[in-house]
Amino acid sequence: MTDRLTHVRAALTERDLPALLVSSPANRRYLSGFTGSYGWLLVTPTAALLFTDSRYTLRAAREAPACTVRQVTNPERPFPTLLAEAATALGLARIACEATHLTVAEHHSLSEALGATCTLVPVADLVEPLRALKDVAELALLRRAVAITDAAFTAVSERLTPTTTERQAAWMFELALRLGGADELAFPIIVAAGPNAAQPHALPSDEPLGRGRPIIIDLGARLGGYHADLSRTIVLGTPDARFWTIYKLVAAAQRCAIAGLRPGLRTHEADALARDHFVAAGYGAHFSHGLGHGVGLAIHEEPALRRTSADTSKPLRPGMVTSVEPGLYLEGWGGVRIEDLVLITETGCEVLSRAPKLAAD
């Protein structure tokens, strides 16, 4: 955590900001180590104050040794009062706050408490770009979460039958993830068969998986706060004629993308690696989401590999971990998605996911 505080302090200095108030739970955990559900973190060049309530003060002291813990007590000592006291004690005339996390009401009540002597300045992209670059400890947790996810997919997918329902299958995957060591699910598991698979984010239903239909399975373990994310598309029995056309397109698009990812490539160019392949085949309209998203303490974080204008696009950098998940969705028939996590390296990318795929060649 000390390194992370050093980095965020450097980012503050670079932007000429004397302090940052962290309200995002993931950013708070990243910078302090504190895992409780309620807390605020104030970082200055010399101080790191962690505010939480009596439910969590003991945990905060244990998990966040680099921080000074201050206890919020309502109604006597609410957080806005404590923040104003800290601003006065530290001589802060401005405090940066997280524009994409702080609510309008929080901004209002904190500004009111700070009064005329200290301004709350909304800023974006201070901690998130740091989080996008994974350190050794983070990569170790991500690799373990990926390995648990791969093992759960491999073991359970062999036990599915045409009479298994989507919901039963989702529960089998969940149990395998948990018994395999996951703390919890990274997100609600998707098991979508036949026409249900035409929805990229379907809810598991009580319909049986059936024979010959595409079945999209999307699952991930969460471990030590870090998220894995894996999608596979399988068929029980003999697939229909359309299946292999669609599956081979998606598999080829994923191969193109993985071959092309490298530092310096911009996020909209990464998306185009797969999208251009679909467009050339006449299926561009059926790839209705982005190519991928970063994973870490959040299931969706930077980088966002998707269509954007070139000026909002960002370059990939070594140490980023992102999903690569092209998919095609055909209403009435179903869909195919294949998703791996990859680590951007100095020269290209390393595929982290090892769960088996259908042989598409």
55 binds a copy of itself (CB under 8 A): yes
**Distance in angstroms (rounded) separating the CA atoms of residues 289 and 191:** 18
What is the closest distance, in whole angstroms, from the C-beta atom of residue 28 to a copy of itself in the complex? Answer: 16
* Distant-in-sequence, close-in-space partners of 292: CB < 8 Å, separation ≥ 6: 270, 305, 322, 323, 324, 325, 339
Full DSSP string of 143-210: HHHHHHHHHHHHHHHTT--TTSBHHHHHHHHHHHHHHTT-SEESSPPEEEEGGGGGSTTPPP-SSB--
- Taking CB under 8 A as the criterion, the residue among 45, 65, 91, 122 binding a copy of itself is 122
- Taking CB under 8 A as the criterion, the residue among 34, 51, 56, 247 binding a copy of itself is 56
Which residue number, 222 or 232, has a Cβ lying nearer to a copy of itself? 222
**Distance in angstroms (rounded) separating the CA atoms of residues 221 and 153:** 11
What is the closest distance, in whole angstroms, from the C-beta atom of residue 199 to a copy of itself in the complex? Answer: 5
What is the closest distance, in whole angstroms, from the C-beta atom of residue 74 to a copy of itself in the complex? Answer: 7
Which residue number, 37 or 238, has a Cβ lying nearer to a copy of itself? 37
What is the closest distance, in whole angstroms, from the C-beta atom of residue 37 to a copy of itself in the complex? Answer: 7
Supply 235's token pair: 């068929």
Residue 50's DSSP bridge partners are 41, 69
What is the closest distance, in whole angstroms, from the C-beta atom of residue 305 to a copy of itself in the complex? Answer: 12
How many residues bind to a copy of itself according to rule CB under 8 A?
A: 42
- Taking CB under 8 A as the criterion, the residue among 68, 154, 205, 308 binding a copy of itself is 308
- Taking CB under 8 A as the criterion, the residue among 14, 16, 46, 74 binding a copy of itself is 74
**Distance in angstroms (rounded) separating the CA atoms of residues 295 and 304:** 10
- Taking CB under 8 A as the criterion, the residue among 31, 92, 145, 202 binding a copy of itself is 202
CB neighbours (10 Å) of residue 9? Answer: 18
Label residue 281 exposed, middle or buried (CB < 10 Å: 0-12, 13-18, 19+): middle
CB neighbours (10 Å) of residue 348? Answer: 15
- CA-based angle 238:243:249, to the nearest 5? 140
- Taking CB under 8 A as the criterion, the residue among 282, 309, 359, 361 binding a copy of itself is 309
154 binds a copy of itself (CB under 8 A): no
81 binds a copy of itself (CB under 8 A): no
What is the closest distance, in whole angstroms, from the C-beta atom of residue 20 to a copy of itself in the complex? Answer: 14
Q: Quote the longest CA-to-CA distance of the chain.
A: 72
Binding mask 168-197 for a copy of itself (x = CB under 8 A): ---x------x-----x---x---------
- Taking CB under 8 A as the criterion, the residue among 15, 159, 242, 307 binding a copy of itself is 307
36 binds a copy of itself (CB under 8 A): yes
314 binds a copy of itself (CB under 8 A): no
Q: Is residue 69 a contact partner of residue 60, using CB atoms and an 8 Å limit?
A: yes
What is the closest distance, in whole angstroms, from the C-beta atom of residue 226 to a copy of itself in the complex? Answer: 16
Region from 81-89, 95-103, 205-213, 228-236 binding a copy of itself, contact rule CB under 8 A: 95-103
104 binds a copy of itself (CB under 8 A): yes
What is the closest distance, in whole angstroms, from the C-beta atom of residue 239 to a copy of itself in the complex? Answer: 23
Long-range contacts for 31-39 (Cβ within 8 Å, ≥24 apart)? 31/1, 31/4, 31/5, 31/127, 32/1, 32/63, 32/64, 32/66, 32/67, 33/1, 33/63, 33/64, 33/65, 33/66, 34/59, 34/60, 34/63, 34/64, 34/67, 35/59, 35/63, 35/225, 36/60
Q: Residue with structure tokens 């989507």?
A: 166
289 binds a copy of itself (CB under 8 A): yes
124 binds a copy of itself (CB under 8 A): yes
**Distance in angstroms (rounded) separating the CA atoms of residues 144 and 249:** 30
279 binds a copy of itself (CB under 8 A): no
Report the interface residues with a copy of itself, using CB under 8 A: 35-37, 53-56, 58-59, 74-75, 97, 99-108, 122, 124, 171, 178, 184, 188, 198-203, 288-289, 306-309, 329, 331
